[in-house]
Amino acid sequence: GEGSLWGGRFASGPSPELARLSKSTHFDWQLAGYDIAGSRAHAKALAAADYLDADQLAAMLAGLDELERRVVSGELVAAEADEDVHGALEAALITIVGSDLGGRLRAGRSRNDQIATLIRLYLLDHSGVIEALVVDLVDAIAAQAERHGDAVMPGRTHLQHAQPVLLAHHLLAHAWPLVRTLERIRDWRVRASTSPYGAGALAGSSLGLDPGLVAAELGLSGPAENSMDATASRDVVAEFAFVLAQLGIDVSRLAEDVIVWNTREFGFVRLDDGYSTGSSIMPQKKNPDIAELARGKSGRLIGNLTGLLATLKALPLAYNRDLQEDKEPVFDSVETIELLLPAFTGMIATLHFDTDRMAELAPQGFSLATDVADWLVRQRVPFREAHEISGALVRYCEENGLDLDEPTDEQYATVSPHLTPEVRSVLTVEGSVASRSGAGGTAPARVAEQLASLTARVRAL
C-alpha cells in the first residue's frame, strides 16, 4: 500500500504527481518471478542465520509459492498505489502470511541489491533464448551456403565489381559476426553471474547473512566483492545492450544486401511470398519489409544502448534513482531482437538465389584484371609492372569494346610482350575463384573447410 515501505519517518504518503513519476510497475512487473525467487533464497539465508525458525521458513516458502501462483495466474497484479514490483509483492505476501512473518523478510536486504540481482536474472534467461535464435540464423545462412556449393557472384568493394567470389563465401561472411556474438554472450555471462544480493542498500549486511547461499540458490556463481559496486554498477546491463546493438547492426548489414539483391537492377534473389509484402496501390510490388524492419530496428537498438550509457555517465556512487531508467531500454532491446530474429531467419532460409544471373555478372566490370596481374607475377614480372600491364589491358579492352579474354594474340602483344596467349587460362571466373586458395580465401576447397569449421565452432559453444 501507499508509503508502506517507509511509513515510519513520513507524516504523509507521496503526492499523486510524485507517485506517477516514481512508478515502475508497468515495466518491472515482468521481474516478479525473479523477485519471488530472490525472496525464497533470502528466506533460506535468514533461516540459516537463525532469524526464522524451521516452521517460519516453511510458512514463508509456502506463502511465496502462493504468491507466485497468484502472479502466474494473473490473479495478482500491481495496484494503483504500488510503486514498484518489490513493494507490491511484499504487500501481497503480507496479506498471505500475515504481517508478523511477512514483515521479517525485508531484514538484511534492500530494493537496491534486489533490483541489481533481478535484472541479471532476467538478462541471463533471455540470453539463452537469444542465443538459440542466433544459432537458428547462423544455421539458415550456413544451409544456403551449403546449398549453393560452387555458385559464383561478383564480389564488390565500394559497391563496385572487384573480384569474383563464391556466393557461399559471401553468405558465410555474414555468419561469422553472428558466431562472435554467440561467443560474446558466453563471455558476458561470466560477469553477469555475479550476485549483488546481500549488498543491502550499499554497505553490506550487518546480520551475518550468507550471500553465497543466496547466490547458489539463484544459480549465480557467487556474491559480488564490493557491495557499493554491486548496487551502483550497470555495466553488465550496458554490455548486454551493446551485444544486442551489434547483433542488430550485423543483421542490418545482411538485410541491406538482401534489399539491394532484390532490386530489378541486381536481380540476385527472389523473396518467398510468406516473407515479403505487397503494395496497396502497385499490384506488381513485392517488398523486402522484413529486411527493412531489421535495418530500422538496428537504429532503435543503438538508441537503447546510447540512452543507457547516457544515464550511467557521471552518476555518483552508490545507488541513485536514475538507475531505474536502465530497464526499459534493455527490455526493449531484448523484445526487439526476440521479435525480429524469427522473421529474419525465415526470410533468409527461404531466399531463392538466381545463380545464373550472378554467374553472368561475375566476370563483368573487368573483375578478372587482378588475375591478369597475378598471372604475370607468377611469370616473375614485378608486381608494379604487372599492375601497369593489366591496367593497360583494361584500358585497351574498354576502348575497343572487348572483354579481357577477347583480344587476339597480336592485340595482347601490342599491350605488352609479357601478355602471351597463355594468359587466357586464368581469364575465367572458375579459374579466378579456384586460384584464391590461400587461408580464408574464396577457392571452393577453402570455403568448404570454412563451412565445416563454422559449424563446428557453433556446435562447440
Looking at 84, 90, 217, 371, which residue binds ligand ARG (CB under 6 A)?
Answer: 84
Q: Which of residues 280-319 bind ligand ARG (CB under 6 A)?
A: 319
By CB under 6 A, is residue 370 in contact with ligand ARG? no
Q: Which of residues 85-114 bind ligand ARG (CB under 6 A)?
A: 111-112
Smallest gap from residue 86 Cβ to ligand ARG (A): 6
Report the residue number, 112 or 304, with the smaller CB distance to ligand ARG: 112
Rounded Cα gap, residues 172 and 153, in angstroms: 14
Looking at 158, 321, 380, 459, which residue binds ligand ARG (CB under 6 A)?
Answer: 321
Report the residue number, 237 or 454, with the smaller CB distance to ligand ARG: 237
Report the residue number, 86 or 436, with the smaller CB distance to ligand ARG: 86
Smallest gap from residue 115 Cβ to ligand ARG (A): 4
By CB under 6 A, is residue 24 in contact with ligand ARG? yes
Largest CA distance in the chain: 103
38, 213 contact by CB (below 8 A): no
Q: Which of residues 156-175 bind ligand ARG (CB under 6 A)?
A: none
User: 389: which 3 cell numbers?
Assistant: 600491364
By CB under 6 A, is residue 197 in contact with ligand ARG? no
By CB under 6 A, is residue 185 in contact with ligand ARG? no
Smallest gap from residue 193 Cβ to ligand ARG (A): 20
Q: Is it true that the peptide bond before 318 is cis, omega within 30 degrees of 0?
A: yes
Smallest gap from residue 331 Cβ to ligand ARG (A): 12
Report the residue number, 88 or 213, with the smaller CB distance to ligand ARG: 88
Q: What is the signed CA dihedral for 146, 147, 152, 155, rounded to 10 degrees?
A: -60
Closest CA to 123 of 191, 22, 24: 191
Asked if 418 is an active-site residue, the reply is no
Phi, psi of 135 (to 5 degrees): -60, -40
Smallest gap from residue 435 Cβ to ligand ARG (A): 59
Rounded Cα gap, residues 56 and 46, in angstroms: 10
Q: Which of residues 49-78 bind ligand ARG (CB under 6 A)?
A: none
Smallest gap from residue 182 Cβ to ligand ARG (A): 29
Which of 279, 425, 437, 453 is an active site residue?
279
Rounded Cα gap, residues 102 and 147, in angstroms: 61
Report the residue number, 115 or 291, with the smaller CB distance to ligand ARG: 115
Label residue 405 exposed, middle or buried (CB < 10 Å: 0-12, 13-18, 19+): middle
Q: What is the signed CA dihedral for 266, 272, 277, 283, rounded to 10 degrees?
A: 70
The amino acid at 406: E
Residues with Cβ within 8 Å of residue 20, at least 6 apart in sequence: none
Closest CA to 120 of 244, 219, 245, 242: 219
Rounded Cα gap, residues 378 and 381, in angstroms: 7
By CB under 6 A, is residue 323 in contact with ligand ARG? yes
Q: How far is CA 245 from CA 230, 329, 461, in A?
A: 24, 11, 21
Asked if 158 is an active-site residue, the reply is yes
Report the residue number, 109 or 295, with the smaller CB distance to ligand ARG: 109
Report the residue number, 224 or 323, with the smaller CB distance to ligand ARG: 323
Which of 12, 15, 73, 158 is an active site residue?
158
Q: What is the signed CA dihedral for 452, 456, 457, 461, rounded to 10 degrees?
A: 160
Q: Helix or strand or coil: residue 195?
A: strand
330, 308 contact by CB (below 8 A): yes
Smallest gap from residue 41 Cβ to ligand ARG (A): 18
Q: What is the signed CA dihedral for 421, 423, 428, 433, rounded to 10 degrees?
A: 160
Rounded Cα gap, residues 153 and 169, in angstroms: 10
Report the residue number, 37 or 393, with the smaller CB distance to ligand ARG: 37
Smallest gap from residue 326 Cβ to ligand ARG (A): 7
**Total chain residues near ligand ARG (CB under 6 A):** 9
Looking at 57, 78, 94, 115, which residue binds ligand ARG (CB under 6 A)?
Answer: 115
Residue ranges binding ligand ARG (CB under 6 A):
24, 84, 111-112, 115, 319, 321, 323-324
**Active site members:** 158, 279
